[in-house]
Amino acid sequence: MLDQLARQIEALLVATESPVTLNRICELTGCGTESAEQAILRIEAELSSGGHAIVIARLAGGYRIVTDPDLGFIVGQLFEGKRHSRLSRASLETLAVIAYRQPATRAQVEAVRGVNSDSAMRTLLERDMIKIAGRQETPGRPLLYGTTSRFLEYFGLSNLEHLPRMDEMENLLKLSAEDIERMASELSEEESDQII
């Protein structure tokens, strides 16, 4: 049997529209961060010992109750035709560059990938995985792109720090920052030539 606090949190995680952050849980139930975390663990224990088909997902910076991924093949049938197709390799690579290097310009993405990424970027924008995050204050003021919370949710990430191999990638990007900039500026020069 779950205690009162755990029951309250469980109810929140079922009814919420988007993942509830720990802070919000504390705010709504009036408990402290630590007791909220403990209560979440108790709910999880209860769910798994009872063999329930729902689990607590940690994603997009918060928690919510979802169906067990193992049962996706059953539940997925309810949404047949509505589910998005998987992202292409080109889209995933583009998304990876933007995710780790955001805000990033298209030229920077193309510099890393070594290939035109126009259509991949468009797909990602359409699918709300990336958004325009301003303009870079360099000649031509190219658009800057960043990831959305939909991106985090789609990959089950609770925040950007939970991207795979964050430290490793950050170091690598630091080391190659100059290379990327140089290649990107070469690319944007080529582009402006084309326009003329």
Partner 1 sequence: MSADNQRACRIDIEDFEGPLDLLLFLIRRDELDVTTIHVAEVADQYLKYIREAEDLNLDVAGEYLVMAATLTRMKSRLLLPVERALMDETEDPMETLMRHLVLYKAFKEVASELRESESIWRDVFAPPGERERYKEEIVESDPGQTSLFDLLLALENMTEKNTPPPRHMIQKPLLSFTECVKVLDKLLSTKTTRDFGDAVGENTDEATVVSFFVVVLELVKRGWLTAEQSYPFADISMKRKEERWEMNA
Asked if residue 165 binds partner 1 (CB under 8 A), the reply is yes
Asked if residue 15 binds partner 1 (CB under 8 A), the reply is yes
Asked if residue 100 binds partner 1 (CB under 8 A), the reply is yes
Among 4, 49, 114, 137, binds partner 1 (CB under 8 A): 114
Residue 111 identity: A
Among 25, 157, 158, 188, binds partner 1 (CB under 8 A): 157
> To which H or E segment does residue 2 belong?
none
Contact 113, 93 (CB under 8 A): yes
Residues 6+ apart with CB under 8 A from 9: 25, 29, 36, 39, 40, 43
Residue 36: how many CB atoms within 10 A of its CB? 23
Among 93, 133, 136, 140, binds partner 1 (CB under 8 A): 93
Contact 140, 116 (CB under 8 A): no
Among 11, 28, 41, 75, binds partner 1 (CB under 8 A): 75
Asked if residue 45 binds partner 1 (CB under 8 A), the reply is no
Instruction: Indicate the residue among 79 and 195 with the shorter CB distance to partner 1.
Output: 79
Residues 6+ apart with CB under 8 A from 187: 107, 110, 111
d(CA 107, CA 143): 10
Asked if residue 96 binds partner 1 (CB under 8 A), the reply is yes
Asked if residue 59 binds partner 1 (CB under 8 A), the reply is yes
Contacting residues toward partner 1, per CB under 8 A: 14-17, 57, 59, 64-73, 75-76, 78-79, 83, 86-87, 89-90, 92-93, 95-97, 100, 112-116, 153-157, 163-165, 168-169, 172, 175-176, 179-180, 183
